[in-house]
Amino acid sequence: MPEWTNGDPAKAPRRGALARGGSLAPARLLAAYRAGVFPWCLSGQSLEWWCPDPRFVMTPADFRLTDSLRKTLRKKGWEVTCDQAFETVMRSCAAVQRDGQASTWITEPMIAAYTELNRLGIAHSIEVRWEGELVGGLYGIAIGRLFHGESMFHTRTDASKVAFAHLVQRLSTSGYVLIDCQLSTPHLASLGAFHISREDFLGIVHQERDLVPAGDAWTNPFSAGS
């Protein structure tokens, strides 16, 4: 099977890999996301490149801020930052035990590649601390007015929801239009994510990938007026 760059994302299997192999060089990763493709390394298999149909997404406006989550966010003790512990967040996501997976797709080569993208200002993390201890977070790729979410973790109840709520606030205030959640999960569905066709998703990617957000979502500290 050829590397993904020789394939058409629009013609990828609906629930399978577009291609296998290739490298995780920053330029290749960036080109993949700009084409609507993301890398995945399933347990015991080689690197794969995916563009599933349908695609699981969320707009900032569709985020469900429930009364219980609003109450959680008001608790004293939370500290939320951005890009202060990117590699630690990735390694914490890698350590999460997931149903049906014997090992993580967040391999050492992936950690090295995404950490480099973070250094280049393309990959970002949200860190959540409770009374000084890192208890949750997420990371992903920002391209144009899109955020491609990769993974999240929590070691304290609701910490990943706190991270996601703060991500949405940053993206919404800064003019981002879509969060790519990639594959469906009940957790993200409960927060407001939904399916769209691959055709529609790729159209949004092509439309938004070169546009500049109205504000900087990745400043520390962040405020609605930043």
Partners of 37 in beta bridges: none
Average pLDDT over residues 98-127: 87
Determine the pLDDT at residue 2.
40
User: What is residue 28's three-state secondary structure?
Assistant: helix
Cβ-based neighbour number of residue 4 at 10 Å: 27
Please, what are the domains in the chain?
4-50 (3.30.70.3550), 55-208 (3.40.630.70)
Determine the pLDDT at residue 1.
36
Backbone angles phi, psi at 119, to 5 degrees: -60, -30
6 Cβ partners below 8 Å, 6+ apart? 19
Query: What would the two tokens of residue 178 be?
Result: 């879509």
Determine the pLDDT at residue 101.
53
> Are 141 and 151 within 8 A, CB to CB?
no
The model's pLDDT over 38-63, given as tens digits with 9 standing for 90+, comes to 998 765 568 899 999 999 999 999 99
The model's pLDDT over 149-194, given as tens digits with 9 standing for 90+, comes to 999 999 999 999 999 999 999 999 999 999 999 999 998 999 999 9
Banded model confidence at residue 223, pLDDT cuts 50, 70, 90: confident
Sign of the alpha-carbon dihedral angle for 125, 162, 214, 28: positive
